[in-house]
Structure 1
């Protein structure tokens, strides 16, 4: 008896596992989770996230009615208001005047803007890469950040709180089921896979740029006032 083919979501996950592991293993991520960064090192990540989600969530509004991409647009995932609240808590109400994304983040955001508003499958690729990551390793990072800096969802770590998603594991399973239900041509599948790999390369570059915050020695505990 022939073995049934793997669902698309399983094939996508397997094909991108190496890129995912490379991004997660970046020195900055390891130091952040280990509590080795000062508050400025964490704040810089929030700045980069804001630029990326501004691009992605602008594309989501364009794709909301699209027959392929629209099923993935969900307001329960929206991160931009939380990021703006975090930046206000961490850097003050004038954060937009005093912070800026780094060149690697600008390149990543430009890629999202270039493809996610015009190609449904490439939009899904960026959506999948960011939000499923947020609901997986991102939740672990959020807990580590909250402990390290004494933050809550209302005072600097709101990005990691999905108030409208009670069961992240079930949500991710439903998300993958939507991926598997898409009527994609081989060319569409290849484009989606290619764009996920592009997203991971950009994400890895962003973490590499943030590695300048990794200290040579131990950092004393610090909390938001």
Structure 2
């Protein structure tokens, strides 16, 4: 009986969490045309806090040989998010945004993983965010460009100029996941952390919907 590659097991075991996140009402409305430009900006603002935490946490793993297989400046999103927010909100954008409750919890979790130097946990969040950006994120950017007249300004977050072939990059990433020598217990921990990341994503969309309703 063949052993399922870890990357395949990870995808299959976390698919329901991924589907729940993609199907959240706020995101569905935004993609189908019921959302507004302001809704999109609200999403970008929350991404800023998440990626600030994730890319800051990467420094804690500078000497980690496992993380080194996945971490690359070609994925870095924070400068693009800052440029998007400057375009969307103006030079004072930092004073005009704040993390929602789920975003704060998400950021706290990423920071805790970094403090514990848990490389598997960091890779779980790294995988969830960046492979999602290179997959569904590309569709999101095209929809936002079409709906709101963006070119590259406003959607720079989704544009990976240094990754010519996203599909090939993702396959290489999955191959690296299969080569990591985690034991069965650690692989289970990583899968659980990916599921947690997807849950944060879903709950963030719920937060965004509540914030919109209260505005």
Q: TM-score, normalised by structure 2?
A: 0.95
Query: In 1, Cα distance between the equivalents of 2:92 and 2:20?
Result: 35
Give the CA deviation at 1:64. Answer: 3.0
2:19 corresponding residue in structure 1: 21
Residue 90 of structure 1, aligned match among 71, 88, 104: 88
Give the CA deviation at 1:81. Answer: 0.2
2:100 corresponding residue in structure 1: 102
Per-residue CA distance 1:145-172 (angstroms, 9 max, x = gap): 111111122x211001000011111110
Which runs of structure 2 are paired with 1:1-225 in the superposition (5 Å)?
3-117=1-115, 118-153=117-152, 155-212=153-210
Task: Kindly indicate whether the alpha-carbon contact (under 8 Å) linking 1:116 and 1:126 is maintained by their aligned counterparts in 2.
Answer: no
Task: Kindly indicate whether the alpha-carbon contact (under 8 Å) linking 1:41 and 1:213 is maintained by their aligned counterparts in 2.
Answer: no
Give the CA deviation at 1:194. Answer: 1.0
Per-residue CA distance 1:3-48 (angstroms, 9 max, x = gap): 3111000001000000100000001111111122221111000000
Per-residue CA distance 1:75-128 (angstroms, 9 max, x = gap): 000000000000000000100011111111111111111113510000000000
Aligned CA-pair RMSD? 1.3
Query: In 1, Cα distance between the equivalents of 2:84 and 2:31?
Result: 18
Query: In 2, Cα distance between the equivalents of 1:104 and 1:170?
Result: 33
Query: In 1, Cα distance between the equivalents of 2:210 and 2:36?
Result: 12
1:218 corresponding residue in structure 2: none
3-state SS of 1:116 partner: helix
Query: In 2, Cα distance between the equivalents of 1:212 and 1:150?
Result: 27
Task: Kindly indicate whether the alpha-carbon contact (under 8 Å) linking 1:37 and 1:213 is maintained by their aligned counterparts in 2.
Answer: no
Q: TM-score, normalised by structure 1?
A: 0.91
Is there any run of 5+ residues in structure 2 with no aligned partner, and where? none
Query: In 2, Cα distance between the equivalents of 1:163 and 1:116?
Result: 28
Query: In 2, Cα distance between the equivalents of 1:145 and 1:64?
Result: 35
| Count of residues in correspondence between the two structures | 212
Q: Compared with structure 1, are the counterparts of its residues 116 and 13 closer, same or farther at alpha carbon in structure 2 (3 Å cutoff)?
A: farther
Per-residue CA distance 1:56-78 (angstroms, 9 max, x = gap): 00111221330111211010000
The runs of at least 4 consecutive aligned structure 1 residues that moved more than 3 Å come to: 212-215
In terms of mean alpha carbon deviation, does 96-105 or 120-129 score higher? 96-105
Give the CA deviation at 1:214. Answer: 6.7
1:221 corresponding residue in structure 2: none
